[in-house]
Amino acid sequence: MESYRTKINVLIVLILFVLAAVGTATNSPRRKLGNKRYKGPCMAVNSIDKCWRCDPNWEKDRQKMAHCALGFGIIAMGGKSGPYYIVTDNSDDDVIDPKPGTLRYGVIQKGPLWIIFAKSMRIKLRRELIVSSHKTIDGRGRYVHITNGAGIKIQCASNVIISNLRIKNIVPTPGGLLRESDDHLGLRSGDEGDAISIFNSHDIWIDHISMSHAADGLIDAVAGSTNITISNCHFTDHEKVMLFGANDHYEADKDMKITLAYNHFGKRLDQRMPRCRFGFFHLVNNDYTHWERYAIGGSSRATIISQGNRFIANDKLLMKEVTYREKSTASVEEWMKWTWISQGDDLENGATFTPSGDQNLLEKIDHLNLIQPEPSSKVGILTRFSGALACKVGRPC
């Protein structure tokens, strides 16, 4: 009898997997089994998630996740080998002398820390949260919302991992004195209201974040930031989603390298998914189900490699073009030299991708940490569990 039940359970798992694959094959832009509704067995569906998810004992070795990044952020270790710091207090009343137990107190400490949460909580940040080097903010196992206040800033830092948060309704905040580290108090100008801002930082991994509604960008990376992976995130309800490189004059951004993998760009998004300058950007197996003006834009000789993504143009809009070049900064003769490649992408509902530059570049860059793309027909399932996960301690995540 026990053997019979085991066979039945295996058959159910196989049926669920086939149904998910069929849903992907139809290239439906809407998830019938989204992250919040799915009640079946754990499915680690992409190369990053397969490293740690679906282990019922994931909570006993949280720091295993530090070895799971791929792409340009692959060596981001976060707070690996450091002690655990537990956020017990969701307040942010004192930005000059933050209380122990608050998130702000943890992120400004020296040395590696793996930051987790004692319970589910909403945190309204009075001022931008300055995250120092060698930190992991790990929201797995809880519902952690950063909402209705300032966002997160990674400034002049390295080795930072941010995972499994819900970030929305980020607003501008005024300037003034702010604790930037445990031994430094700085006088800062007002913050524009980015959900996550990466400034002059490197070796960063942002994974399984749900993001919407910020006054400025959802994720910006500027001022020479590099070696960044953004994966398994879900973006909705925003105009200017991502900005990589702040302006067309800061040529230090030519060394910027960013990977976008397994993300879902969902409802009510307008543009900048991302908008790039100078650097090298690898977009692999992302799902673009909504855009109004454009999906991918750039200027200043940005190199963009798009592999195995799905682009579904809006039926109700005339704007079917995926790409956008900033015409005010370059002539056609100039931007045709920028290398923008579409390889194995799924272009639906009349979507078009205008390539340019060296279409043989991929044959020359084997030394880079590029994630190997899977077929675009699998994008629906590869991104099915994008966004913050509903993890529970003692169960597969």
Task: Output the pLDDT for position 368.
Answer: 84
Confidence of residue 92 (pLDDT cuts 50, 70, 90): very high
Strand ranges across the sheet with 310-312: 121-123, 144-147, 166-170, 210-214, 234-236, 264-265, 287-288, 310-312, 346-348
Is the model more confident about 228 or about 185? 228
pLDDT 10s digits, 23-35: 443 345 544 434 4
Find the Cα–Cα–Cα–Cα dihedral 221, 224, 229, 233, rounded to 10°: 0
Q: Is the dihedral of CA 240, 133, 184, 117 positive or negative?
A: positive
Residue 394 CB: number of other CB atoms within 10 A? 10
Which of 62, 142, 179, 272 is catalytic? The answer is 272
Pick the CATH number of 44-382 from 2.160.20.10, 3.40.190.150, 1.10.40.50, 3.40.50.170: 2.160.20.10
Confidence of residue 5 (pLDDT cuts 50, 70, 90): very low
Find the Cα–Cα–Cα–Cα dihedral 8, 10, 12, 14, rounded to 10°: -140
Mean pLDDT of 185-204: 94
Kindly give the pairing relationship between strand 287-288 and strand 310-312.
Answer: parallel
Residue 16 has pLDDT above 70, yes or no: no
Chain mean pLDDT for the chain: 89
- Nearest C-alpha neighbor of 168 from the set 150, 187, 186: 150
Task: Output the pLDDT for position 37.
Answer: 65
Distances (CA, A) of 210 to 74, 147, 166, 218, 387: 21, 12, 5, 10, 4
The DSSP letter of residue 193 is -
Domain assignments of the chain as residue spans, ordered by start: 44-382
d(Cα 180, Cα 319) in Å, to the nearest integer? Answer: 43
User: Is 0.85 topped by the overall pTM?
Assistant: yes
Catalytic residue flag (residue 272): yes
